[in-house]
Amino acid sequence: MARAKDGTIYYSGAEGGWGSLRGMALVAGAERPGPDALSALARLNKPGGMMCTSCAWTKPAKPHMFEFCENGAKATMWDLTTRRATPAFFAQHSLTELRGWSDYDLEQAGRLTNPMRYDRATDKYVPCTWEEAYRAIGSKLRDIPAKEAIFYASGKASLETSYAWALFARLYGHNNLPDSSNMCHETTSVALKSTIGAPVGTCLLEDFEHCDAIFFFGQNTGTNSPRFIHTLAAARKRGAKIVTFNPIYEKGLIEFRNPQSAQMITGGKTKISSHYYQLKAGSDIAAMLGMAKHILAEEDRIGGVLDHAFLAQHSHGFEAYAETVRATSWETIEHETGLDRADLIEAANVYIQAERAIGIWGMGLTQHHGGYDNVASVVNLMLLRGNIGRLGAGVSPVRGHSNVQGQRTVGISEKPELVPLDRLAEQYGFEPPTEEGYTTVTGCQAIVAGKVRAFLGLGGNFLRAAPDHRVMEKAWTGMDLTVQIATKLNRGQLFCGETAYLLPCLVRAEEDIQNGTPQVVTMEDSLSCIHGSIGKAKPASPHLQSEMAIVAALAQATLEPNPRVPWAEWSTDYAAVRDAIEATYPDKFRDFNQRLFTPGGFFKGNTARERDWQTKSGKAEFTVPGALNATGFAAEEGLYRLITLRSNDQFNTTVYGYSDRLRGIEGKRDVLLINPTEMARAGLREGQRVALVGDASDGVDRVVEGLEVLPFNLPEGCLAGYYPELNPLIALRHHDQASHTPAAKSVPVRIRA
């Protein structure tokens, strides 16, 4: 860590080279971190320290001296800002006025300091006491049928709070527990559950130390999980190949400078991807079919390419799959992907030559109409050579929010069959609801249809992150009750039900002392390892409560007392919640309280990793894709596939700034990226302002105006721009067919000059 002449601090061990050092110094200057920010950074992702709130990438047993990245540091400093959104701030600004502010300006107001109630007469949030808020919310909830309430969770809250949140919902009487995962990796959870019987990735860090090849689909590591780059760079150094499929030439996946080595002085770079294929958005299914076509052809020609023993003993459905592969022509595959047959043969040869291979993906696969088939295609590919359930091999989706995977593990799920309801029934002496709850999409549809009367959000910015903003914002105010448990002001909080509360909570970096004892919270990372985390920073305001305390108080205010659910004890002793989690999930959380600070976390286990396939057939399932492309719409003149992107300077709907450094886009977010050929074909010029118009076959007007045309290296027929600004263009019904994950990576749009 260092301090520049102007007083801004910067991190001198950042990954990604000098560019990110500058980014760090800038954010430190711009965001005015409090005095505890530096020590919080030094404790990040270390056993006994604080687990970063940015991404879900795993925390190694032997951390670097600075085990964090530029974006993790930004997230921490953003949380520990000295700016405050106090009652005085809210007295100055009506919600109508604030709705005219940008996402950036709203969050710049700083940390929320007091519980606030919406006052309709003045159109302002006014301060209230915690007691008043709890009493009012509890009484409203008791007045409505439980099934007309939604309890949303963004993926940050700890395992303890998440367990309590889900239990609160079920004791109250519903499974309406959509999670940010419903907009994210739900596709993965559904597809992996039905193909390999476990809803999460099968790899551990040791697999990355032994693999020969990594196949990388639609995950932007350099920006979204930068610490993972170290793992990839180490694999490359060992000689492993990294084969990337992405419509965008993402710099972070191409090369990497390690500032902690001589590279920083010599200007050297490590190559990350050994092969990079710029395919059309939504064409991964076809690309993987192409690879499989060559693999089967090689099997026919020389033999010994497929793992026959594995296929016979462990897989189901190979013949039907192989038939489809053989029946699909190279012409079709080339047309769909925009790649040459030679490229796919090259990629397939890397796969064939690899003794051990890993498949990786992110939102580039999950956020499509055919997302399920995308993910199942990676599984198909891995099964061909027995690449699941042995050292150095496996499937490894990269999760988003820091505890999003863990929230599902401890019961936040709209699908009752994924939750041990019988055990909950026994443990707490009640009859849990069995009716399937709302996902993000079905929840939004129910809100639009006027069937939802209360929405409680445990973190996040649901209304801004979800599709079809304009439709949703209009419907939102029709609810009786809206409650947001949050750290910062965001646009979602500016739309209020009849009764509305804003409840400010501690961030993970802050100390959480209950009855004089500092509390530990836990999370599960992308590789299913569980870590304890302790905050040490001074809370942003004396009026904040912890998420756990808030959830316990809401439950107490709403539910009939139940002596078996000790809410009061739980809100002051999180170890007692962990004991309860262990009682519900004895296999995954054995000796939970004793293993909190295991270096590298403790692994909750994965059946598919053991080749115990908990699927319908009892074996790993091959899937015949339903369509060759995942877009869900036919190609048509003037109809484009819009990819909605994260910049390097945002965390989901939180916009840190206007620099997308790794893509070379600076100072703006209202852009439409288009390739120069398409630009000419559409008669557009650089810098021109245009509108994008969404698919309107349902009669809803979906338009975003004022986008600046920017030539960019993209495949034919594809456009790109930033999320969440472009979310008004996504129809609610445009989602993955199996999981309902909104299809944000190929949105059908037209350009209006």
Ligand X SMILES: Nc1nc2c(c(=O)[nH]1)N[C@H]1C(S)=C(S)[C@@H](COP(=O)(O)OP(=O)(O)OC[C@H]3O[C@@H](n4cnc5c(=O)[nH]c(N)nc54)[C@H](O)[C@@H]3O)O[C@H]1N2
The residue ranges that bind ligand X (CB under 6 A) are 54-55, 71, 154, 156, 180, 183-184, 217-220, 223-225, 245-248, 250, 281-282, 284, 362-364, 367, 400-401, 458-462, 465, 485-488, 490, 505, 507-508, 547, 643-646, 650-654, 723-724, 727, 730, 744-745
What single-letter DSSP state applies at residue 741? -
Closest distance to ligand X from the beta carbon of 720 (Å): 7
From the list Mo ion, ligand X, none, partner contacted by residue 219 (C-beta under 5 to 8 A by kind): ligand X
Closest distance to ligand X from the beta carbon of 676 (Å): 18
Closest distance to Mo ion from the beta carbon of 550 (Å): 23
Under the binding rule (CB under 5 A), the answer on residue 559 touching Mo ion is: no
Which parts of 144-283 are beta strand (E)?
149-153, 213-217, 241-245, 255-256, 270-271, 275-277
CA dihedral 611, 612, 616, 617 (to 10 degrees): 60
Closest distance to Mo ion from the beta carbon of 443 (Å): 17
93 or 745: CB nearest ligand X: 745
Rg of the chain, C-alpha, whole Å: 25
Closest distance to ligand X from the beta carbon of 23 (Å): 11
From the list Mo ion, ligand X, none, partner contacted by residue 71 (C-beta under 5 to 8 A by kind): ligand X
436-468 b/e (C-beta count within 10 Å ≥ 16 → b): ebbbbbbbbbbbbeeebbbbbbbbbbbbbbbbb
117 or 251: CB nearest ligand X: 251
The SS3 of residue 86 is coil
Q: How far is CA 485 from the centre of its chain?
A: 19
Closest distance to ligand X from the beta carbon of 594 (Å): 26
456 or 465: CB nearest ligand X: 465
Under the binding rule (CB under 5 A), the answer on residue 141 touching Mo ion is: no
From the list Mo ion, ligand X, none, partner contacted by residue 406 (C-beta under 5 to 8 A by kind): none
Q: How far is CA 547 from CA 55, 455, 485, in A?
A: 19, 17, 8
17 or 400: CB nearest Mo ion: 400
Q: Which of 235, 267, 233 is nearest to 252 (CA)?
A: 233
243 or 424: CB nearest ligand X: 243
306 or 444: CB nearest ligand X: 444
Q: Where is 127: in which H helix or E strand?
A: strand 124-127
From the list ligand X, Mo ion, none, partner contacted by residue 202 (C-beta under 5 to 8 A by kind): none
315 or 650: CB nearest ligand X: 650
From the list ligand X, Mo ion, none, partner contacted by residue 371 (C-beta under 5 to 8 A by kind): none
Residue nearest to Mo ion (CB): 400
Closest distance to ligand X from the beta carbon of 179 (Å): 9
Structure tokens that stand for 556 in this block: 């107490």
Structure tokens that stand for 97 in this block: 């006025």
Q: Which stretch binds Mo ion (CB under 5 A): 178-186, 464-472, 484-492, 533-541?
A: 178-186
Residue nearest to ligand X (CB): 362
CA torsion sign for 552, 166, 522, 77 is negative
362 or 715: CB nearest Mo ion: 362
Binding mask 179-198 for Mo ion (x = CB under 5 A): -----x--------------
DSSP H helical ranges for 238-370: 263-266, 284-302, 308-314, 318-327, 330-337, 341-353, 363-366
Under the binding rule (CB under 5 A), the answer on residue 744 touching Mo ion is: no
Structure tokens that stand for 360 in this block: 């990786």
Per rule CB under 5 A, count of chain residues that contact Mo ion = 2
User: What CA–CA distance (Å, rounded) separates 168 from 211?
Assistant: 43
Q: How far is CA 86 from CA 113, 114, 287, 429, 500, in A?
A: 6, 7, 53, 42, 17
Structure tokens that stand for 192 in this block: 């992996």
Which burial class, exposed, middle or buried, applies to 610 when counting CB atoms under 10 A from its CB (0-12, 13-18, 19+)? exposed
Binding mask 379-408 for Mo ion (x = CB under 5 A): ---------------------x--------
The CB density around residue 61, as the number of other CB atoms within 10 Å, is: 12
85 or 424: CB nearest ligand X: 85
198 or 523: CB nearest ligand X: 523
Binding site for Mo ion (CB under 5 A): 184, 400
